[in-house]
Amino acid sequence: MADCIFCMIAEGKIPSSKVFESDTVYAFLDLNPVHKGHTLIIPKKHAKDLLRLPPELGRDIVEAMQNVGRAVMEATGADGFNVIQNNGRAAGQEVEHVHWHIIPRFDGDGLAFWAQTKYESMDAMNAMAAQIRARLV
């Protein structure tokens, strides 16, 4: 898509530190890493977010996440890694071309991503699950 920065990266029109490339997937280092080695995985074909991603690309994305995740851990000496994928501004999505963050993590690095809340009761929790189930297609 014209004027999409990640499309331009996948097409080689603007530079990136490439980590991986296949027919359908491209991976490169994030310019503003949480930790060095923080990598972004994108489908080459533009999709705004996860809801617009053709599901048949899922296999290629998961294979890339496994391959890149293992290589990032080995290259950085990380003890683990997070896969994070933001959908929508409210979720922190800044670039509107779907992407998965591979973030190396180290024992005791102290990063915390999630604030926690609680359901008022088990009934309230079960009601939430029922509301979600009712909307599945």
Catalytic residues: 99
Note whether 10 and 20 are within 8 A (CB): no
Q: Contact letters (x/-) for ligand AMP, 10-29, by CB under 6 A?
A: ------x-------------
**Cα 65 from chain centroid (whole Å):** 9
Total binding residues for Zn ion by CB under 5 A?
Answer: 6
Cβ proximity to ligand AMP, 52 vs 124, nearer residue: 52
Note whether 42 and 10 are within 8 A (CB): yes
Question: Does residue number 14 form part of the binding site for Zn ion (CB under 5 A)?
Answer: no
Question: Does residue number 86 form part of the binding site for ligand AMP (CB under 6 A)?
Answer: yes
Backbone angles phi, psi at 76, to 5 degrees: -105, -10
**What sections of the chain are H helices per DSSP?**
5-10, 58-76, 122-133
DSSP string for 78-102: -SEEEEE---SGGGT--SSS--EEE
- Of 32-40, 43-51, 58-66, 100-108, the window that binds Zn ion (rule: CB under 5 A) is 43-51
Q: Which does 95 bind (CB under 5 to 8 A by kind): Zn ion, ligand AMP, none?
A: ligand AMP
Which residues of the chain form contacts with Zn ion (CB under 5 A)? 1, 4, 6-7, 46, 97
Residues found near ligand AMP in the complex (CB under 6 A)? 5, 16, 30-32, 40, 86, 92-95
